[in-house]
Chain A
Amino acid sequence: MVIVKRKELSLAEKLYLPEVVRGLSVTFRKMFEKPITRQYPEEPLEKTEVTRGQPRLVVKEDDSIACVSCGLCEAACPAYAITIDGGETDRAIEREPKRFDIDMLRCILCGFCEEACPKDAIFMSDELELADYSREALIYNIEKLKRPQAALQQRIDYVKKINTRWQTPSST
């Protein structure tokens, strides 16, 4: 058994009213300070290079995507959100995705797909909002996932910068 010794209250505390005034003074003081709450939809979030939003496929300058449907993001995905079916193409990369679906309801924005990608094809965008009227509409196909490179450039540069930490100078 534990005996809890209660603190002896002072006279001011016993009187109760001074303590109420002390508490309210904190409230009144805060009323005149700059508020820290954000009026979210009207005031959007600040997005930096480390913002990890929904994954998107980079559309390069020649209108192609770099994905060769190797399936490493699919394998890395801890939420099983990605489904890829590959197929042959006449382009130099030989294989491209015929189907590339990300179930955005499953996606947990962990960024493993970005890390796994050997072709720099998938990056975490700064898009965070997600709402629709049906579940099916939130399974994003390849067309919905495409974003021009310019929109993702900040993140691409950041990822390349942090990746150099474990790259040896000679590695290709």
Chain B
Amino acid sequence: MVKIIVNGREVEADPKKPLIKACHDNGADVPMYCYHPGLEPVGSCRICQVEVKQGDAPARVMVACRTQPAEGMVVDTESPKAHATRKECLEFLLKNHPLDCPICDKAGECDLQDFTYAEGQDAGRTNEPRRELDKRKSLGDTIVLDQERCILCSRCVRFFEEVPKQAQLTVSDLGSRSVIATFMDRPLKGKYQGNIADLCPVGALTLKKFRFQARVWNLIKMASTCGECSRGCSTTVEVLRGADVKRMRPRENEAVNKFWMCDIGRFSFDRHNRSGRLQGAAVREGVQLVPYPVEEALTRLRDELMREKSGAWILSPWLTIEEGERIKAVAERLGHAVCFVSPAPNSEKDDLLHTGDPCPNRRGLSELGIPAAPVAQALEALRGVKSAVLIGERIVELLGAGELAKVDATKTRVHLVDEYALDIPCVLSVYGVANCVERTGTWVNIDGVRGPISAVKAPPVGARSPAKLIDELVRLMPKLEKAR
């Protein structure tokens, strides 16, 4: 650690990290396009220039991302000279940048737009036409490149080189004709492509899935955790008008995912937008499931569970630790068995983030003392009891609707708490449940790091979070209420 002075304040800086990091850590707002804290600095955009004075030498303007802090350095990020230099840089970056902010999806969260507003350059000084390039160049299934908007910061190029360690993009051609391209126009490969759309400081790289879907300032954003594998990447879930999840983006978390997430998690929001969700409760009367008030359905469930000593609670690994704790307490007092379904690892495992284990809260539930049961074992446990509660989102998906249909309805009475109502003969009652973007709680990832999940939108009418459902059930059990 060395001592430097940033804007008149003495601060400690790590000499191995670029100067721009020390500036940002101490509240100095230095703009940046090519620099990204997760990538190697190259100093290609030159927008982070600050005035640096070292020893007796006269003050010089230097790029903060390619300068190492040294003892006694005096840095002024707001000096007139630094401002003037940055403004000139900006003018060159804007030389060929199209003025299509109204169309651009990045508008509202664009670094170039923000800094242009901050510097107040409202008009260009050139009369030459801007260069005309391909505005809708497809780079595979995930990404569209707008070559006109690109400012050639090369963040995307460096991302593929440094993070998945598979170089796919490059800056091709020369001078003002330079463009980002893949070799021989091949489509991008791999499951980390989505990250380059987040990295892009302008609107040049956009996700095909998000393209023209929403204006970013209309999105409600909440911190959450990805539920597609046991890594539990920190994410931001973004919802338009309280209805549809439009985007999931990685949230910086040094302990888990740093700045990245895989495309499997990123595009997993489709399932949260599906219609046909279960509203409230339904109880089997005769052969059909009939909609029922939740309280009455729960009363019937309570009567059955309190009567039946041979019972099992089979949990989905998507349940949070708060929900797991409640269910375990109830099951133990009723003398029922409890386990969570642990599906076989899938083939998506890689060296970077994806663990291949689809259970986001495996560790959390295991730490609560709930045993993991592979699918076959869970089905065996289900068949061996007279009364079973399957609880949590995706539980039918995990156990398999076909397998559940084979369960003998005369031997096992099954109650289902899931997102969708499937007519499975052994199921006597179903309850709508809030999924992982509709309820709050905590998951524990494979390394023991706790990740929050947040209610970004409202669940369907009548659907409840498992915690609330269990609380209502417990309230109906007088003896248990006293014991708690």
Contacts and interface: CB of A to CB of B under 8 A. Distances in A.
Interface of A: 68-72, 74-75, 86-88, 93-95, 118-119, 168, 170-172
A71 B102 CA distance: 8
Contacts of A69: 212
B461 interface: no
B103 A70 contact: yes
B341 to A, nearest CB: 39
6 contacts: A71-B217, A75-B218, A87-B212, A93-B103, A168-B123, A172-B123
Contacts of A168: 122-123
Nearest to B240: A85
Given A71-B218, A87-B212, A88-B212, A95 B124 contact: no
Nearest to A118: B102
Interface of A (DSSP majority class) = loop
B102 A119 contact: yes
Contacts of B102: 68, 70, 72, 118-119
Nearest to B215: A71
A94 B218 CA distance: 20
A153 to B, nearest CB: 23
Given A70-B102, A86-B212, A87-B212, A75 B217 contact: yes
Interface string B212-236: 1111011000000000000000000
B-side interface size class: 10 to 19
Interface string B102-141: 1100010000000000000011110000000001100000
B205 to A, nearest CB: 15
Nearest to A170: B123
B137 to A, nearest CB: 13
A172 B99 CA distance: 9
B211 interface: yes
A72 B218 CA distance: 11
B215 A68 contact: no
A94 B103 CA distance: 7
Nearest to A121: B102
A88 B211 contact: yes
Given A70-B215, A168-B123, A94 B135 contact: yes
A95 B211 CA distance: 9
A75 B108 CA distance: 12
A171 B123 contact: yes
Contacts of A119: 102
B191 to A, nearest CB: 24
Contacts of A93: 103
A95 B103 contact: yes
A52 B103 CA distance: 27
Contacts of B135: 94
Given A70-B215, A94-B136, 10 more contacts: A70-B101, A71-B218, A74-B218, A75-B217, A86-B213, A86-B214, A88-B211, A94-B135, A119-B102, A171-B123
- Nearest first, the 6 closest Cβ-Cβ pairs linking A and B are A70-B102, A71-B215, A171-B123, A95-B212, A118-B102, A86-B212
A94 B105 CA distance: 11
B309 to A, nearest CB: 55
A117 to B, nearest CB: 9
A75 B102 CA distance: 12
Given A71-B218, A94-B136, A170 B107 contact: no
Contacts of B214: 86
Contact of B122 (A71, A74, A171): A171
A72 B104 CA distance: 12
A2 to B, nearest CB: 56
Nearest to B208: A88
B144 to A, nearest CB: 10
Nearest to A92: B135
Chain B CB within 10 Å, residue with most, of A71, A74, A93: A71
Nearest to A67: B102
A75 to B, nearest CB: 6
B141 to A, nearest CB: 16
